[in-house]
Amino acid sequence: MIPDALINAVRDARHIVIFTGAGVSAESGIPTFRDPLTGLWERFDAASLATPEAFRADPALVWGWYEWRRMKVLQAEPNPAHRAIVELARHVPHLTLVTQNVDDLHERAGSTDVLHLHGSLHQPRCFTCGKPPEEPLGTPDEPEGGRRLQPPQCERCGGHLRPGVVWFGESLPAYQLDAAFAAAKDCDVLISIGTSGFVYPAAEVPNLAWQAGAVVAHVNPLANISRGEREYALAGAAGETLPMLIERAFGRTGS
């Protein structure tokens, strides 16, 4: 059940913020970061590989794992939730899409100007000088991973390229975070999709929207609310719930 008050708020909104987490990508078959590693990587702990210290100690091991992850993303396809966000953008004056995901499924579905709070698997940079490579990454060499892969060298300084994601102990990109916070404070409705809300400072985005007077909805199989007023929990898969919300607010669409 989708409350009429939420449907009306979405229909009347001038600015909607969509805030997505790993649950959206999981519906495309991409494991979440907290899922146990499988196959040739099952003896490793994901958190222990996602640090600058791990890369300094064994850059080939860390690069190999991230290339395996990137291959999994390239094998996946956008799901109905990704496409519903694109459809929603056609119906509202202004939509800001903020994601904690490091894949490109939003862009491949058709979303533009996505704010990536945790970086991207597809945008590496030099570990030494911080510059991006002159040429984009090609297709990963090892579809199933499991072996060390020597990272490419930076054309400028000769250092190793590193994955373009935010590791534990690193700050989120200031521009992206500031833009997300500004959008949250400006929006009428924020829809949080597939995120636990426990990872800070990104988890401040829905809080800022609610504090500024926006309607906040959480779409998640285990969705719950803590405030009640102007806050809604839509328990279910995003690929089913979002299209239903759009249809209720704007009528049947062509997606």
Structure tokens at 50: 């996602």
Residue owning tokens 């499991």: 146
Instruction: Choose the catalytic residue: 82, 116, 118, 160.
Output: 118
Give the residue from 108, 102, 106, 99 showing the smallest Cα distance to 82.
106
Residue 106 bears catalytic tag: no
Q: List CB contacts of 183: < 8 A, sequence separation 6 or more.
A: 15, 17, 96, 98, 115
- Angle, helix 80-89 to helix 238-250, in steps of 10 degrees: 30
How far CA 189 is from CA of 27, 88, 109, 170, 183, in Å, comes to 23, 12, 22, 30, 10
Phi, psi of 227 (to 5 degrees): -110, -35
**Burial grade of 248 (CB within 10 A; 0-12, 13-18, 19 or more):** middle
209, 184 in Cβ contact below 8 A?
yes
From CA 111, how far away is CA 97, in angstroms rounded? 8
From CA 205, how far away is CA 128, in angstroms rounded? 31
Which residues belong to the active site?
Answer: 118
